[in-house]
Amino acid sequence: MTHTLLSIGHGYSAQALADLLLPLGWHVIGTTRSAERAAELARAGVEPLIWPGHPLPLDRATHLLTSVAPGDAGDPVLAAHGAEIAAATHLDWVGYLSTIGVYGDHGGAWVDEDTALSPGTSRGRARVAAEAAWQDHAPTRLHILRLAGIYGPGRGPFAKLRRGTAQRIVKPGQVFSRIHRDDIGAALLAALQSGQGHAVYNLCDDDPAPPQDVIAFAADLLGMPPPPEVAFDDADLSPMARSFYSESKRV
């Protein structure tokens, strides 16, 4: 039997899973919004599907992964196809990529999967609601995977240093957790192959650190001088990036 993964919102992290599944003989269908991105998926061995715009081929899928972020109106996948997904009892596994932002701020203290959810941002609250909605709709075993900050090829401190855009931002007490793209792929593969029932997993490298230390370490590995330290209040950050500094926790 050919296993088929339907990956909704197929992006950076989901492609890491596809790269592992395709050599195993899996078929991967990935949704995207643009024709340009669809061509990229096809070159990577993924069957592209423009969505929204075409029906989701749930009847062809044995496994389902969604990477689509919720909006103000809730989870867009469930809003459009919730009843169909709930009725897709032939699915063997459903995976939902969430975020450690659901835990909110813990002042740098440790959190794990048993920590109460207390999001401090509207994005985090939307994720908590989306997780609950997927728990209500999943027709089979559901794995919720809460991702830390993602880095990997083309993203993260190495890429920023090479582009000259890295900042060593210092906010006393601030720590971030991270996860490499390839580790996300490996964890997803282990999850869908595990046979484990409903579960929640935090995906992180278990080495939280102040962001300025990460940049300095990456610069040392590249043999580059680190950028100067910049106080958080003086840093050139977008509102979105600045909001991440409102929460500090070790995962």
- pLDDT for res 122: 92
| Residue spans of the chain under pLDDT 50 | none
- pLDDT for res 137: 96
Cα separation of 18 and 38, whole Å?
15
| pTM (predicted TM-score) | 0.94
Peptide bond into 52 cis (omega under 30): yes
- pLDDT for res 241: 87
DSSP-derived 3-state class of residue 10:
coil
- pLDDT for res 101: 96
Cα separation of 177 and 203, whole Å?
9
Q: At 5, list the tokens.
A: 């993964």
Closest C-alpha among 180, 160, 181 to residue 237: 160
Q: At 1, list the tokens.
A: 């039997």
Longest dimension (CA), the chain: 57
What pLDDT, in 10s, does the model give residues 187-207?
Answer: 999 999 998 899 999 999 999
Total residue length of the chain: 251
- pLDDT for res 2: 86
Q: At 145, list the tokens.
A: 């995977």
What pLDDT, in 10s, does the model give residues 21-65?
Answer: 999 999 999 999 999 999 999 999 999 999 999 999 999 999 999
Contact between 138 and 199 under an 8 Å Cβ cutoff? The reply is no
DSSP-derived 3-state class of residue 206:
coil
Burial per residue of 35-58, b for 16 or more beta-carbon CB atoms within 10 angstroms, e otherwise? eebbeebeeebbbbbebeeeebeb
Domains, the chain, with CATH or none? 4-152+177-203 (3.40.50.720)
Q: How far apart are the first and last CA of the chain?
A: 38
- pLDDT for res 170: 96
Q: At 51, list the tokens.
A: 């969505």
